[in-house]
């Protein structure tokens, strides 16, 4: 006899590749991404800003963290400058990490919006498959299995990735701000 039986629905979905997941395992790297999302900085500037935020790390450790983020393709060199017989590198994040909790009472406040969004997305997904289903399925067939997952949800991942990219494009173009 079970002491508790419950239907547990999926409430969160995290989509990322394994390299990015490993890079995000360290909160210092998440802070660096946050800093570099706002402005390009050198290792020295990152080191100082981390110190200002209460993170006492050696400059070599900061460089290591930036290199890991760069290897995961979450940070890029934004520009190079000549400086004192050498080259100064400025880094910039190409990745935004959202790490928030919605307020406790937000479910009720957002329920109607969620219902509307679900209906609209259902129509959008239907349209995506009607016009591009073969392409979505072809990409799904070429995907490598997730090393952590027994069940694979390739097409769902592709749809989420497409929606995420579209939101990024709207945000970067300023259209998301204009729509409010």
Digit-coded pLDDT (tens) for 7-65? 777 767 677 788 888 888 899 999 999 999 989 999 999 999 999 999 999 999 999 99
What does the pLDDT read at residue 21?
A: 86
Task: State what percent of residues in the chain have pLDDT above 70.
Answer: 97
Digit-coded pLDDT (tens) for 118-130? 999 999 999 999 9
Q: What burial class does residue 61 get, using C-beta atoms within 10 Å of its C-beta: 0-12 exposed, 13-18 middle, 19+ buried?
A: middle
Digit-coded pLDDT (tens) for 145-170? 877 677 788 899 899 999 988 988 89
What does the pLDDT read at residue 67?
A: 96
**What residue spans in the chain does CATH classification 1.10.10.10 cover?**
18-93
User: Which CATH architecture is the domain 18-93 placed in?
Assistant: Orthogonal Bundle (1.10)
Digit-coded pLDDT (tens) for 100-111? 888 988 999 999
Q: Is the predicted pLDDT of residue 6 greater than 80, yes or no?
A: no
Average pLDDT over the chain, rounded to an integer = 89
| Element of type H or E holding 91 | strand 86-93
């Amino acid at each position: 006899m079970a002491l508790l039986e419950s239907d547990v629905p999926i409430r969160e979905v995290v989509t990322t590749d394994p390299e990015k997941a490993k890079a995000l395992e360290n909160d210092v790297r998440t802070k660096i991404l946050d800093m570099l999302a706002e402005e390009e900085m050198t290792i020295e500037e990152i080191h100082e800003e981390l110190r200002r935020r209460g993170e006492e790390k050696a400059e070599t450790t900061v460089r290591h963290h930036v290199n890991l983020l760069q290897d995961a393709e979450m940070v890029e060199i934004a520009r190079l400058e000549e400086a004192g017989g050498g080259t100064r590198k400025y880094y910039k994040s190409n990745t935004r990490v959202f790490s928030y909790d919605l307020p406790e009472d937000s479910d009720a406040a957002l329920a109607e919006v969620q219902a509307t969004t679900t209906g609209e997305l259902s129509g959008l997904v239907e349209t995506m498959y009607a016009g591009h289903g073969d392409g979505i399925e072809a990409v799904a067939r070429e995907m490598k299995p997730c090393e952590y997952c027994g069940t694979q949800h390739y097409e769902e991942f592709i749809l989420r990735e497409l929606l995420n990219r579209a939101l990024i494009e709207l945000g970067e173009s300023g259209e998301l701000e204009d729509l409010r």
